[in-house]
Amino acid sequence: MRTRTISNTGIEISELGIGLWSLVTKEWGADVNKAEDILRRAFELGINFYDTADVYGEGLGESILGKVFSSKRDKVVILTKIGLDFYHNSVNGKYPRNYSLDYLSFAFEKSLERLNTDYVDILMIHNPKINDIKNKKLYDFLDSLRKDGKVRVIGVALGPTLGWGEEGLEAIKMGYGSLEYIYNLIELRPGIEFLNYDIAHFVRVPHASDALNESKWPIYNDPKFHRRYKDINWINKAIERSRDLISFARSKHMTLAQLALKFILYNKRVTSVIPNVASISELEEFAKVENLEQLTETEYDYLYSYSIRNYRDLNDESIEETKQYK
């Protein structure tokens, strides 16, 4: 497993990461009881980066990490997020934002307890809006945790949807050292703009709600799954426009899902990509990208142009979706 280094930190992170979101909730079709096995297998495969948040499984994601890696803490890199309050006010699984410094201090200490550690490698504010990102007191609080050695890198997780271009650029301007956001072959913007900056970049949803993962086709609207938040017509259009890429992927001895990961990893500013993993078989398929031939500059340029020609309107639609959350 190849690693990449966060600038000015010496932190080496595996190119592929594992997100606890898809392991400890049922919204991605995972068996929660198998989460520990998947994490252990990931570590065997050389994956050292694990992405979670306090709200994932209402603490379960952090607790499982704390259990599985308690004796390997110095060998793994953990990213967690705080700021969505599931302790006091959650309604039907929806968590209000709470970025008061008292709450964040409380939430951070709870995260440390569950993770069974005295520090976090990367700490992010979860889905803030523009005024929160501009809040100097909030930034200073997080930076104080970094200066005290409780956190190594601070950052912002943008979401819940795509978009958030202004917010990402403002976070970089404020001095945050990392971003987590959606970026893939279909939804290039705004991630492609963030990648101009020398910070840590953690990419999620690399398969665009499985439109770039042919093993999941056909995709139906299922109210149990997280992709229910994505217009099924958007997904189906994306799938139809992706079919011509399968032959290109086969010419590289890859699946379309593996090609989607290779496309993202071509950009050396990407620190790690976090595919949604719900089983050991999925994990092992994605991990095989490390042994596959790298894309050439010509191949990357072809895929980039393919995206502009075939997906620009879908990218626009995804950005438009974000307005309802602002």
Looking at the structure of the chain, the number of domains it has is 1
Q: What is the pLDDT of residues 220-255, one digit of tens each?
A: 877 666 666 688 999 999 999 999 999 999 999 999
In order, the DSSP letters of 25-40 are SGGGT--GGGHHHHHH
- The single-letter DSSP state of residue 94 is B
The reported pLDDT for the residue numbered 231 is: 86
pLDDT at 105: 98
Rounded to whole angstroms, the Cα distance separating 275 from 284 reads: 12
Rounded to whole angstroms, the Cα distance separating 94 from 99 reads 16
Q: Would you say the C-alpha torsion 144, 147, 149, 154 has a positive or negative sign?
A: positive
pLDDT of residue 224: 66
Q: What is the pLDDT of residue 25?
A: 81
Residues 6+ apart with CB under 8 A from 244: none
pLDDT of residue 325: 84
pLDDT score of 89: 74
| Cβ pair 66, 115 in contact under 8 A | yes
Residues of the domain holding 123: 3-325
Which amino acid, one-letter code, is at 62? E
In angstroms, rounded to a whole number, what is the distance separating the alpha carbons of residues 126 and 128? 6
- Is the sign of the CA dihedral 116, 117, 122, 125 positive or negative? positive
Segment 272-297, tens digit of pLDDT = 999 999 999 999 999 999 999 999 99
CATH of the domain at 207: 3.20.20.100
Supply the pLDDT for residue 110.
98
Residues of the chain with pLDDT under 50: none
